[in-house]
Structure 1
Amino acid sequence: MNDQNTGAIAHPNGAGATRSSEAAKTPSVATAVDSRPAGGISVADHIQPPRTEPGAADKTAPEVFDPNQTDFDTVADAYDDSLPHHVMDHYLDKRAEFIRNHVAPGRIVDVGCGTGVLAARLSDDGYDVTGVDPFRGMLKHLRQRRPGIDAVHAFGQHLPFADDSFDLAYCVAVMHHVADPQAVRETVMEMTRVTKPGGHILIWDHNPRNPYWPILMKRVPQDTGAERLIPEKELLEGLLAGGARPIVVQPHSLIPDFAPKRLMPLAIRAESIVERTPLLNRLCAHNVILAVKTIQR
């Protein structure tokens, strides 16, 4: 399992632009989901989530952070070495492949980009990438890794971009750091706001059903105990509230940090079997949600 690619994007104390009126109008996840086959769920095509008001633009991350959350500036220099590189490379390959298989090259934004490992890979694959993170230390590493990638200092709850700016907005291993339910919802809705109609929103985060996360999260420097593993249903509700329709919802990945490099081929085969096996795949390491923005402002 892997927690790479990102710094947290939570706003201090969970503060952000409140959209409580939208919550009342949001269709339930149950109305959006028809069934759950082995590979994931299918989603009713006719769902049309409500409109949302544009989020606040041109706001940058303040310099004061919630002391209960990770200050990623203090771990930035060691962040890329917090897990074995062969495990990190495996997850990097899976994430880049998933995006290539579902989203054509275009303008994309990595929300909570961290040191920019995935952003750099996607840039190499032909995507026009913008990286967003509230921690300057993480952005420093992104700039060093790929000077040509735009690096923006901002919180995910206040993305400083116009509506309908990107073909894809994605975050990987971010939401459990955001933690606060309102902040999670606002971040998901902001990601949807800056996505073009017909564009995609991708959320790839820790699966609360996996029993190993509480163990691993006590060992890595980027986790402090303030994190919260976000239920899939909560993320789906945020997407629907923001005006997006989920099209892929599936459990993904399983390889733990202690997998020996010499056994990776065997571990990858076992991972693939678990991913395809109903019920057993509920224990996968990550939940992956891909949605399409359906509303036209």
Structure 2
Amino acid sequence: MFHLPLTSLRAQFDDIDIYLFDQLLKGRIQKGIHLLDAGCGAGRNITYMMQAGVQVYGADISAEAIEKTRELASELAPTLPARNFVVADLDALPFAEDKFDVVLCSAVLHFARSEEHFKGIVQELWRVLKPGGMLFARFSTTIGLEGKLQQVEGRFYRMSHGPVWFLADEELIAELEKSLGAERLEPLKTVLVEQDRTMTTWVVKKAPSRY
């Protein structure tokens, strides 16, 4: 009987977000769909998608990161055009409205430059998402650490490791859901990391078109 080596997992999945892996297990990401990784970095969350026949796109503000993702795609999925991967600020994506079945945005939103920038990114991710499509976002929040963080101004907080991050709270997330008409596919899931930050997973669906 042939067994795959456990070491092959890293080659298949790279450093995929474990909560995104959960969406794969639930069948919400399928071969042939159009998927955007917004803030893709060097492609850690889309390595498996490329190999699985997903029509992957990526956007990142770093030209160096996009070059690495294009190199990864050329190796794992040579039929994916290099133009699928673009340098862009996430609040101004160069993609058509209603283009993607799934939009990912993992470990990015807490780097927003202002509350308006944060909302602008979310609205832009929503714009390019097809009716009936899924938005998966994971970002640092104040949930579970209310009153325990060093507030700088507004929703900006100094993190224990030094940088200042924009941290949404449950109220802001609920406000966005209402304004977008989003339907939660999962309850909010928040993980406490070493008592100094939390990471919240937000998975929502865009209402299907009525026409």
How does the TM-score come out when normalised to structure 2? 0.72
Instruction: Write the deviation string for residues 221-260 of structure 1: whole angstroms up to 9, x where unpaired.
Output: xxxx34212223323322432342223132244566xxxx
Q: CA deviation at 1:98?
A: 2.1
- How high is the sequence identity, in percent, across the aligned residues? 22
Distance 1:96 1:202 in 2: 8
Q: 1:136 aligns with which of 39, 48, 63?
A: 63
Whether 2:21 is the aligned partner of 1:97: answer yes
Structure 2 counterpart SS, 1:159: coil
SS at match of 2:179: helix
* Residue identity in the other structure for 2:28: V
Contact preservation (8 Å) 1:192, 1:243 = no
Matching residue of 1:194: 128
CA pair 207-131 structure 1, distance change in 2 beyond 3 A: same
Q: How far apart in 2 are the matches of 1:176 and 1:144? A: 27
Cα displacement (A) at 1:97: 1.5
Show CA shifts across 1:266-287 (max 9, x none).
xxxxxxxxxxxxxxxxx98321
Q: Distance in 1 between matches of 2:129 and 2:187?
A: 19
Distance 2:190 2:52 in 1: 22
Compared with structure 1, are the counterparts of its residues 285 and 92 closer, same or farther at alpha carbon in structure 2 (3 Å cutoff)? farther
How far apart are residue 125 of structure 1 and its match? 3.5
Q: Is 1:206 aligned with 2:140?
A: yes
Question: What per-residue deviation string (whole Å, max 9, x for no partner) do you get for residues 205-234 of structure 1?
Answer: 11323579922x42xxxxxx3421222332
Q: Is the 8 A contact 2:185 2:203 kept in 1?
A: yes
Identify the structure with bigger relative contact order (alpha carbons < 8 Å, sequence gap 6+).
Answer: 1
Per-residue displacement from partner, 1:137-184 (whole Å, max 9, x unpaired)?
Answer: 111221222224521111111111111111011100111001411111
CA–CA distance in 1 between the matches of 2:27 and 2:60? Answer: 24
- 2:76 counterpart of 1:115: no
Which residue matches 1:70? none
Give 1:39-58 correspondences, 5 Å limit: none
Q: Select 1:287's aligned residue among 195, 200, 205.
A: 200
- 1:295 CA displacement: 5.5
The question of whether the paired residues in 2 share the 8 Å contact of 1:232 and 1:287 is answered with no
What are the equivalent positions in structure 2 for 1:106-185 lying under 5 Å apart? 106-147=33-74, 148=78, 149=80, 150-185=84-119
- 162, 165, 171: which is aligned to 1:233? 171
- Report if aligned partners of 1:243, 1:295 keep a CA contact under 8 Å in 2: no
* Aligned AA (1:94): I
Task: Tell me: CA distance 1:143–1:123, structure 2 relative to 1, closer, same or farther (3 Å).
Answer: same
Aligned partners of 2:37, 2:67: CA distance in 1, in Å?
15
**Kindly tell me: are residues 155 and 236 of structure 1, through their superposed partners in 2, closer, same or farther at Cα, counting changes over 3 Å?**
farther
CA RMSD of aligned residues (A): 3.0
Equivalents in 1 of 2:14, 2:67: separation in Å? 24
Shift of 1:126: 3.4
Q: Say if 1:252 and 1:287, in contact at 8 Å, map to a contact too.
A: yes
Aligned-partner Cα distance in 1 for 2:179–2:27: 23
The structure in which a higher percent of residues are strand is 2
TM-score with structure 1 length normalisation? Answer: 0.53
